[in-house]
A and B are shown apart, each in its own frame.
Chain A
Amino acid sequence: MSEKASGTEIPVGPQHPSLKEPANFTLTVDGEVITGAQMKLSYNHRGIEQAVLSKSYIEAIYLLERICGICSHAHTSAFTQGVEELLDLEVPPRARYIRTLIGELERIHSHMLWLGVAGHEIGFDTLWQYAWRDREIVMDLLEEITGNRVHYSINTIGGVREDLTDEHCETILEGMDDLAERIDFYQETVPNEETVRMRCEDVGVVPEDLAREYCAVGAVGRASGVPTDVRKDAPYAAYDDVDFDVITDDRGDLLARTVVRIGEIAQAIRIIRQVAKRIPEGDLKASAKPPQALLAQVPEDDVVSRYEAPRGELIHYVRADGTDTPARVHIRVPTLANWPTVVESLKGSYIADTPIVVAGIDPCISCTSRIGVETDGNHGGENAFDLDELREYGIEWYDDRSDVERPSLDGDERTVSGGTRGDRA
């Protein structure tokens, strides 16, 4: 602990019970009030953007699906939509409806998960348990339709892999009836529970101008009165065929985000009911060709694909070089767009509010932890490393800490650095 004139510094994370994933905040506090906040991201470089380059477009779907355990459908949809645009494929209506259905079921499951996490962060464990129990309705439906609770693997290039039967539609409608009842309960109780109000009202406020300045996306933006929603702004899948409202709120605090998210679940139920009732007949895939034949046709081009993930706008950039593997895939996840608002809204809050303010944007750190390493050193700021500099930095790091065991390059043998340097450069 270091005592400074400005106050005490508290490290939050990278390992901390309120953050299940690695992220670090250094909070400067004066008593219980936070006077300054700094954040560090990317403790865990997953290298997934690099790994995609070694896989064909078909394999890349399943790899990208594993970026996130919550919005897996969002990533595959964004990616396949991009590749379909490259190939100039027209996805049949039935497939577009099924993508919409899975996407909305996923939105419900993500928002219910968030509601539970938010409850836990403010010490309301009962809400947490109820929300997660009721979330199982959706998880069971997803497993029934796609064969898996989390990684649905239903998207493929040009359409979907599994069809929706009439029995499925009925089970979905029944499930939605049960869920609608539960959502009414949450809409009635959660914003009206006095202790929840005390913890969430006027906490973590992001005013509209700040939300616009920092380009906040998803529920965070909408709760601050910015009606951004890719489903309305640039409809994909079947969103131009279904009726739904974009829920907004102008208070910009955590209560507004809670209300917006619960409202979005209600809208998702509305969309799912429409899809289950009037899904058109037809093919599931744009082309009957085997996947390998499709991959051979990918032209040399690039594409940007947008998708409204549960957490906000998700962007996939794909550059194709005419082979069956992509030349570059870059992903801008919604969490990355929302982090700056967290740092701003932490300042002036109480320490006790840290977990709920951080959780308030529904952060997905596994999505965000994908730092890029500049290999040519041409662009990037002064903190950019090329590979040689990175190696040099690593060697110096170990030399400065003579008590740390240095991993040996060859075999299992490990040597303790005795202060000699540069032998591996």
Chain B
Amino acid sequence: MSIPGKIVPEALKTLGKDNATVSYPKDKRTMPDRFRGAVEFEPEPCTGCGMCERHCAADAIVVEADADGNVTWSYDVAKCMFCGQCEESCPTDAIVMGKEFELAASDKPAFEDSYTFKR
């Protein structure tokens, strides 16, 4: 039967419930294991193959090599859309999706990350 105020019992029950949200900067949820945050890079295993750059839809990763065999791997977290394809495409597991998600900054260079190493 339809009556107005059908949810009164539910509403009164809700009064006794805990908050549905966490008080964010004070309390934080733990992120699940598979959470995809900012990319973490390890230069040691990297071969400079450039697969990550090739498969990055957002052009957040750039891999450059100079004549001396120096590889520069750079990453712009502001462009990144956290799909994780670079991690998937990397043949040597040099790229891992990290857990960091508080990524706001007020100056542009803070978003950029760059490694130069010899190959």
Contacts and interface: CB of A to CB of B under 8 A. Distances in A.
Direct A–B touching in the complex (beta carbon < 8 Å)?
Answer: yes
Interface of A: 55-56, 58-63, 65-66, 126-127, 130, 133, 136, 143-148, 151, 153, 156, 161-162, 185, 189, 191-195, 197, 290-292
A62 B57 CA distance: 7
Given A62-B81, A193-B7, 4 more contacts: A136-B20, A148-B36, A153-B85, A193-B6
B4 interface: yes
B57 A55 contact: yes
Contacts of B10: 130, 185, 189
Contacts of A136: 20
A145 B57 CA distance: 23
A311 B25 CA distance: 36
Nearest to A193: B6
A61 B54 CA distance: 14
B97 interface: yes
Residue of A62, A156, A191, A193 with most chain B CB atoms under a 10 A cut-off: A62
24 contacts: A56-B54, A58-B55, A58-B85, A59-B55, A62-B57, A66-B81, A126-B7, A130-B14, A136-B20, A144-B32, A147-B32, A147-B34, A147-B97, A148-B36, A151-B82, A151-B83, A161-B84, A161-B88, A162-B34, A191-B2, A193-B4, A194-B5, A290-B89, A292-B54
Contacts of B36: 147-148, 153
State the main secondary structure of chain B at its contact with A. loop
Nearest to B11: A126
Contacts of A60: 57
A133 B20 contact: yes
Interface size class of B (residues with CB under 8 A): 20 to 34
Interface string B1-24: 111111100110010000010000
Interface of B: 1-7, 10-11, 14, 20, 32, 34-36, 51, 54-58, 81-85, 88-89, 91, 97
A161 B11 CA distance: 42
Given A193-B6, A194-B3, A62 B34 contact: no
A29 to B, nearest CB: 28
Most chain B CB within a 10 A radius of its CB, from A58, A136, A162: A58
A271 B80 CA distance: 34
B20 A62 contact: no
A128 B51 CA distance: 45
A9 B4 CA distance: 34
B100 to A, nearest CB: 14
Nearest to B36: A147
A161 B89 CA distance: 11
Contact of B83 (A62, A126, A185, A191): A62
Contact of A147 (B6, B35, B91): B35
Contacts of B54: 56, 292
A153 B89 contact: no
Contacts of B3: 192-194
Contacts of B1: 192
Contacts of A189: 6-7, 10
Nearest to A185: B10
B81 A151 contact: yes
A291 B2 contact: no
Contacts of B11: 126
Given A59-B57, A143-B35, A292-B54, A127 B7 contact: yes
A420 B94 CA distance: 58
B7 A147 contact: no
Contacts of A55: 57
A197 B55 contact: no
Contacts of A161: 84, 88
A110 B89 CA distance: 31
List the 8 closest A-B pairs by CB distance, nearest first. Answer: A59-B57, A147-B34, A194-B4, A193-B6, A62-B83, A62-B57, A153-B83, A192-B2
A189 B88 CA distance: 46
Contact of B6 (A144, A194, A291): A194
Contacts of B55: 56, 58-59, 291
A147 B2 contact: no
A292 to B, nearest CB: 7
A126 B4 CA distance: 14
